[in-house]
């Protein structure tokens, strides 16, 4: 297929993306043409606009933004889930173009003045509350894009943004390349003693795919986690732990994928960016668009949670060390022993293991239960689209979210299994958002929901651990926030315009239903017999929910404080990333990793994702989600009236109002931290 515009599928008016038609050489021409079209239409719009209204200014801007979203999001998605050298090169070639366009738009003085004029006329034009919120956000966005800076500083702002975009992509690519560069063939079954049947089958499948004998260990998370949790061979656990925790560092692959210099430059440029915009630190700049007000407030919040959690975390670790010494003959508990010993202790205390539960969570049964719970809570129906559709990989599945009258509300894709050339982790991304267009037609949302679970092996369906079930619910919560919106303006539809430290509220909220008796009954069914999870196993699973919860809490606080302290430093302070991490660990951690651990080199959330100076958002939003769920506990877990209230106050409203106002509307008061501590089993 040629890359000419006439035959470029990215430039056609498609409903769903034409994934199997997109060739890497078509990507840059499509993005270039889209950006040129947007720029020329905005310039034409501004040159002939005297009497500013919403319809002649904001609606055209949102329409152009929507066109760019729909052309770029399939490219971004394919880069994450079907990465290849040609696709990566095409993707990377577009990043400076997008960054330049974004800077041009954000620093467009004429556009800024027109939007200010529209804001000043808001009462005269009878703009609604949502339109005023959008204009307020837009004006703030211009200020944060350096619209008022002198020309030389504007130029430097643009250079920094372009370089940061390039570096973030490089950071993520280094992790992917380093992950794929390491593997270990094992031909002696004794070395794999302790691994459950499901893990052995996965490793054998890995080997067969490369025409190798025996089993093949790689660093994709399902494989890594199985070895760390179950391999009795301590030397093997240490070897795999070392490989995983030194990825993308100077210690592996001759340093060719080393992220250390990338991280240094990212931090340096973020500091310079904050300084350009007259903020004392990057964390201050980050908070300009979040619920939290000041860096001091965030740090105090995290330190308070740490003070409440660390004593219990120390007790949990001491219990684990005693158990490891007494029962497993591990005298000194090392980091590569933690998951293995913890799984054995959990089995002893609660007589339940991941592997015992896994047969009860075949993926299609879990999906059926997830959809049933969604229907009960939010009065919608979900059906799979079985007609052939355009997909990027055979694993991709497509579903439709419908009203009970059968009207389509939204659609979403699932891509659930780990594989080569696919980014690790789990996430929700949007292809397009709800948007009432200029001709009155309503564009309905479409979401990408991506996970990295164990794939089906042989004749067995994919069997999930309960933790993976929770992950699935988490990402689907994000999806519902995107898909159930009733906002017609693109800028605040779905998750758009929602403060970043509130965006995890729906996802963490939905996780709670994985631990409810009525929820588990719908989610589970043995893959052979179809029998639901037996009462005794369900009770043990629920009892084990808060096993080592304080250790998990301080681990998350370690990540959050590391991120926030790192981004709170002023431009004159030397950048020593490892030193910041060590200082935070000394303050809150109970497990101190070896000096050669390079966790920070693969901490994508803050160096390549949207969580820089914002990782605290997980805990901040967890306060909101736990408190929101406590209303369901008080008034009925599956109470349709409360489900409807949550849907109307939170899921349908997107970013149309500040998150605190929406939460207070649902809960009747501001959030309280006690439900989070109670749900986590941490003494108040």
Three-class SS of 275-296: HHCCCCCHHHHHHCCCCCCCHH
Pick the CATH number of 359-547+618-679 from 3.90.1150.180, 3.20.170.30, 3.40.309.10, 1.10.1370.40: 1.10.1370.40
- Up-side HSE of residue 35: CA atoms within 13 Å toward CB? 19
Q: One of 138, 316, 475, 600 is an active-site residue; which one?
A: 475
172: helix, strand or coil: helix
Determine phi and psi for 597, rounding to 5 degrees.
Answer: -65, 130
**448 bridge partner residues:** 413, 429
Which ranges constitute the DSSP H helices of 417-534?
466-483, 505-511, 517-523
Q: Which parts of the chain register pLDDT below 70?
A: 1-6, 684
pLDDT the model gives residue 683? 76
Residues 6+ apart with CB under 8 A from 224: 240, 244
For β-strands 427-432 and 435-436, DSSP reports them as unpaired
Using the 8-state DSSP alphabet, how is residue 60 labeled? H
Long-range contacts of the stretch 555-560 (C-beta < 8 A, 24+): 555/589, 555/591, 556/618, 556/619, 557/302, 557/305, 557/306, 557/309, 557/588, 557/619, 558/584, 558/585, 558/588, 558/589, 559/603, 559/605, 559/615, 560/302, 560/615, 560/616, 560/618, 560/619
Q: What are phi and psi of 401, to 5 degrees?
A: -95, 125
Q: Retrieve residue 43's tokens.
A: 């310039």
Give the integer Cα–Cα distance in Å for 571 and 281.
7
Under 8 Å between Cβ of 621 and 504: yes
pTM (global) more than 0.85: yes
How many other C-beta atoms lie within 10 A of the C-beta of residue 274?
22
- Tokens standing for 378? 């939010």
Does 499 participate in catalysis according to the annotation?
A: no
Burial class (CB in 10 A: 0-12, 13-18, 19+), 320: buried
Topology of the domain covering 260-350+549-615? 1.10.1370
The closest of 566, 570, 567, 561 to 280, measured between CA atoms, is: 570
424-470 confidence digits (pLDDT tens) = 999 999 999 999 999 999 999 999 999 999 999 989 999 999 999 99
SS3 annotation, 197-224: HHHHHHHHHHHHHCCCCCEEEECCHHHH
Beta partners for residue 382, in sequence order: 401
The residue among 78, 81, 80 whose CA lies nearest residue 30 is 78
**Where in the sequence of the chain do the CATH 1.10.1370.40 domains occur?**
359-547+618-679
Helix (H) or strand (E) holding 90: helix 85-106
Report yes or no: 110 and 46 within 8 Å, Cβ to Cβ: yes
- CATH label, 5-106+108-144, candidates 2.40.160.40, 1.20.1050.40, 3.30.365.10, 3.40.50.300: 1.20.1050.40
* Residues 547/574, Cβ–Cβ less than 8 Å: no
**Given this model, what pLDDT does residue 392 score?**
97
């Amino acid at each position: 297929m040629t890359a000419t515009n006439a035959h470029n599928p990215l430039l056609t008016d498609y409903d769903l993306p034409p994934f199997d038609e997109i060739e890497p050489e078509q990507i840059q021409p499509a993005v270039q043409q889209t950006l040129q079209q947007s720029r020329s239409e905005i310039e034409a719009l501004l040159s002939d606009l005297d009497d500013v209204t919403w319809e002649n200014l904001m609606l055209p801007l949102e329409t152009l933004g929507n066109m760019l979203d729909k052309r770029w999001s399939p490219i971004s998605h394919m880069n994450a889930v079907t990465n290849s050298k040609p696709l990566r090169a095409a993707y990377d070639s577009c990043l400076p173009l997008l960054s330049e366009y974004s800077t041009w738009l954000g620093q467009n003085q004429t556009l800024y003045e027109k939007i200010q004029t529209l804001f000043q006329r808001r009462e005269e034009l009878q703009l609604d509350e949502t339109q005023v919120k959008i204009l307020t956000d837009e004006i703030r966005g211009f200020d944060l894009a350096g619209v008022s800076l002198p020309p030389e500083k504007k130029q430097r702002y643009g250079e920094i943004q372009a370089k940061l975009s390039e570096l973030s992509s490089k950071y993520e690519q280094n992790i992917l390349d380093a992950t794929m560069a390491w593997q270990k063939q094992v031909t002696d079954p004794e070395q794999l003693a302790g691994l459950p049947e499901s893990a052995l089958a996965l490793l054998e499948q890995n080997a067969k795919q490369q025409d190798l004998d025996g089993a093949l260990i790689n660093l994709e998370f399902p494989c890594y986690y199985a070895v760390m949790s179950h391999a009795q061979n301590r030397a093997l656990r240490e070897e795999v732990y070392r490989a995983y925790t030194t990825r993308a560092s100077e210690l592996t692959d001759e340093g060719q994928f080393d992220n250390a210099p990338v991280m240094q430059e990212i931090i340096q440029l973020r500091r310079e960016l904050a300084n350009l915009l007259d903020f004392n630190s990057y964390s201050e700049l980050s908070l300009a668009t979040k619920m939290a007000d000041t860096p001091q407030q965030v740090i105090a919040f995290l330190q308070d949670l740490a003070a409440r959690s660390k004593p219990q975390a120390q007790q949990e670790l001491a219990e684990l060390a005693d158990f490891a010494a007494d029962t497993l003959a591990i005298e000194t508990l090392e980091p590569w022993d933690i998951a293995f010993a913890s799984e054995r202790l959990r089995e002893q205390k609660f007589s339940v293991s991941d592997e015992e539960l896994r047969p009860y969570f075949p993926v299609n049964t879990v999906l059926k239960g997830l959809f049933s719970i969604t229907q009960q809570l939010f009065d919608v129906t979900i059906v799979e689209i079985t007609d052939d559709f355009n997909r990027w990989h055979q694993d991709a599945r497509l579903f439709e979210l419908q009203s009970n009258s059968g009207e389509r509300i939204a659609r979403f894709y699932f891509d659930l299994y780990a594989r080569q050339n696919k980014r690790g982790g789990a996430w929700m991304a949007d292809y397009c958002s709800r948007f009432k267009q200029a001709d009155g037609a309503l564009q309905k949302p479409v979401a990408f929901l991506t996970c990295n679970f164990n794939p089906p092996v042989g004749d067995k369906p994919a069997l999930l651990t309960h933790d993976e079930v929770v992950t699935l619910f988490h990402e689907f919560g994000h999806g519902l926030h995107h898909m159930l919106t009733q906002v017609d303006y693109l800028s605040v539809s779905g998750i758009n315009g929602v403060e970043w430290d509130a965006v995890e509220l729906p996802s963490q909220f939905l996780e709670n239903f994985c631990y409810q008796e009525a929820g588990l009954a719908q989610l589970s069914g043995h893959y052979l017999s179809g029998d639901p999870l037996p009462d005794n196993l369900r009770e043990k699973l629920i009892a084990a929910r808060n096993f080592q919860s304080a250790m998990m809490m301080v681990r998350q606080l370690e990540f959050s404080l590391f991120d926030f302290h790192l981004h709170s430093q002023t431009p004159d302070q030397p950048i020593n990333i490892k030193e910041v991490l060590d200082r935070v660990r000394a303050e809150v951690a109970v497990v101190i990793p070896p000096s050669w651990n390079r966790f920070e080199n693969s901490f994508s959330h803050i160096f390549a994702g949207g969580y820089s100076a914002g990782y605290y958002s997980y805990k901040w939003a967890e306060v909101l989600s736990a408190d929101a769920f406590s209303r369901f506990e008080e008034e009925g877990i599956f109470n349709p009236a409360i489900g409807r209230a949550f849907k109307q106050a939170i899921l349908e409203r997107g970013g149309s109002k500040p998150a605190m106002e929406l939460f207070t509307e649902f809960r009747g008061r501001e959030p309280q931290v006690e439900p989070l501590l109670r749900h986590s089993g941490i003494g108040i």
